Amino acid sequence: MKNSAESLWESCLLFIKDNISEQSYKTWFLPIKPIKLNGKVLNIQVPSKFFYEWIEEHYIKLLKSAISKELGENAKLVYSIVMENTYDNHTPYTVKIPSSNRPPIKNPNLSIPIEIAANGLKNPFIIPGLKKVNINSQLNPNYSFENFIEGDCNRLARSAGYAVGNNPGGTSFNPLLIYGGVGLGKTHLSHAIGIEIKDKHPDKTVLYVSAEKFTQQFIDSIRNNTRNDFVHFYQMIDVLVIDDVQFFAGKEKTQDVFFHIFNHLHQQGKQLVLTSDRAPVDLQGMEQRLLSRFKWGLSADLQIPNLQTRISILKKKLYSDGIEMQKEVIEYLAYSITTNIRELEGALISILAQSSLNKRDINLSLAKEMIDRFVKNTKREVSIDFIQKVVCDYFDLSLELLNSTTRKRRIVQARQLAMFFSKKLTKSSLANIGNQCGGKDHATVLHACKTVNNLVDTDKQFRSYVDEISKKLELQQL
């Protein structure tokens, strides 16, 4: 027969499963074992400290809702963590840690209940009894400039953002519109601007809000007859950051109220920062008068980062989490996941979770296994990045050296081979290949291809390079 902890946990799991992705559910919740239910205290066992920290940081709200749904408001959660016994290798022991009751500040998208401010103004963010300066900016401290790696993919947006951070409302970047595909850092960068402003101009009122939440608050204000309060509230902000403005598409009333708030703030020299998942020209369902306002300032896009930047991002993440990982594993991850940064981080986290769960070392074979699961069935396209990596490995060169201006024979040959294979195996133009190979022009690439073709016919040694690299490229592509 099932004990009460087990059946309670089963109900919790049903609820949890409905609220998160399949992948997260399997990774984080299936490995949990219910141990004991003591009155309103549920004790669950998690496989490692890493699991415990991860769950506390990312899923505690969900877990709390699930448990209080079953046990009522004052339900409590205690973790048992399986610890590796480092002295002898007998049975692992467990430690008990109560769930912290810290407010989950890290997630900027948590909704804040509507409160009534001291001055009687109903507004969605203010904390009762506190003045304007104490508005909670809803900024995530992890999304700082310091944690935002610079690369060719984000240079303009980042430096414009930094300028705005130093001098909000005082640059020509008003509004600053940051756009780009999912997972490329729009939310991160918009928080970074807010954090920078809070840091350098503590007197300014900064507010980050997603367009979705803004819309919801607006609808609520209509329902509660507090539209004026809503507008007033937003009009007293010094720096307004609205994330994912594409959400306003097709919502005329929301666009209308936003238009008025926008004009008011802009006239007063207040700063607006907006993000969108597409360029302004592609924002269908958005009123012309709003679109033309967006063009008053600067629109800057975020692109997919190149291999070097992806490696730097992974390194930075590992460093700030205090985790060490072999260079080859990091590189493997960075050149396998080319879609966006969120997926890159997702892959990294899965590897950490797997290694923690199964007490396995993080090495290339674990990484390969995980990546195969991740990027399954999508045959990896050979990219210029990938070709450069294979060539560098083959000649035991660093990527910097390959793409430098060095004229040393061995390096020149490696560089020419990378260009030759890029032309042969990708659809990139000569100009693009040159650009990615250290900013060379199309004529250099053309010359490289000709040289390689000549040398293959005349130089036996060189021919073997070409054959071996071809094999490696094919092999690793599988």
> Which listed residue (77, 239, 313, 417) binds ligand ADP by CB under 6 A?
313
Q: Which residue is nearest to Mg ion (CB)?
A: 187
> Which listed residue (27, 80, 138, 187) binds Mg ion by CB under 5 A?
187
Based on the shown chain and the rule CB under 6 A, indicate whether residue 182 belongs to the binding site for ligand ADP. yes
Q: Which of the stretches 8-16, 70-78, 88-96, 184-192 binds ligand ADP when contact is defined by CB under 6 A?
A: 184-192
Q: Which residue is nearest to ligand ADP (CB)?
A: 185
Tokens of 197: 């402003």
Q: Which of the stretches 111-119, 185-193, 334-342, 344-352 binds Mg ion when contact is defined by CB under 5 A?
A: 185-193
Based on the shown chain and the rule CB under 5 A, indicate whether residue 210 belongs to the binding site for Mg ion. no
259 within 8 A of 287, measured Cβ to Cβ: yes
- Please give the span between the terminal C-alpha atoms of the chain, in angstroms, as a whole number: 48
Report the distance separating Cα 329 and Cα 367, nearest Å: 7
Based on the shown chain and the rule CB under 5 A, indicate whether residue 140 belongs to the binding site for Mg ion. no
**Which of 281, 326, 286, 323 is closest to 299 using CA atoms?**
281
Q: Which of Mg ion, ligand ADP, none does residue 182 bind (CB under 5 to 8 Å by kind)?
A: ligand ADP
> Shortest Cβ distance from residue 275 to Mg ion (Å)?
7
Q: What is the DSSP letter of 248?
A: G
> Which listed residue (342, 380, 442, 472) binds ligand ADP by CB under 6 A?
342
Based on the shown chain and the rule CB under 6 A, indicate whether residue 55 belongs to the binding site for ligand ADP. no
Q: Which of the stretches 7-15, 259-267, 339-347, 397-405 binds ligand ADP when contact is defined by CB under 6 A?
A: 339-347
Report the distance separating Cα 434 and Cα 118, nearest Å: 62
145 within 8 A of 195, measured Cβ to Cβ: yes
Length in residues, the chain: 478
CA angle, residues 392, 396, 400, in degrees to nearest 5: 55
171 within 8 A of 127, measured Cβ to Cβ: no
Query: Nearer Cβ to ligand ADP, position 108 or 169?
Result: 108
Q: Which of ligand ADP, Mg ion, none does residue 51 bind (CB under 5 to 8 Å by kind)?
A: none
Based on the shown chain and the rule CB under 6 A, indicate whether residue 187 belongs to the binding site for ligand ADP. yes
Total of residues contacting ligand ADP (CB under 6 A): 17
Q: Which of ligand ADP, Mg ion, none does residue 148 bind (CB under 5 to 8 Å by kind)?
A: ligand ADP
Report the distance separating Cα 43 and Cα 446, nearest Å: 67
CA angle, residues 183, 188, 192, in degrees to nearest 5: 165
Report the distance separating Cα 413 and Cα 323, nearest Å: 37
Based on the shown chain and the rule CB under 5 A, indicate whether residue 138 belongs to the binding site for Mg ion. no
Q: Tokens 């919502």: give the residue.
A: 251
Report the distance separating Cα 242 and Cα 190, nearest Å: 8
Based on the shown chain and the rule CB under 6 A, indicate whether residue 184 belongs to the binding site for ligand ADP. yes
Tokens of 445: 């690439």
How many other C-beta atoms are found inside a 10 Å radius of the C-beta of residue 16? 21
Based on the shown chain and the rule CB under 6 A, indicate whether residue 179 belongs to the binding site for ligand ADP. no
Output helix, strand, coil percentages for the chain, rounded to the nearest 5.
55, 10, 35
Query: Nearer Cβ to ligand ADP, position 169 or 180?
Result: 180
Binding-residue pattern over the window 116 to 155 for ligand ADP, x denoting contact by CB under 6 A? ---------------------------x---xxx----x-
Binding site for Mg ion (CB under 5 A): 186-187
Binding site for ligand ADP (CB under 6 A): 143, 147-149, 154, 180, 182-188, 313, 341-342, 345
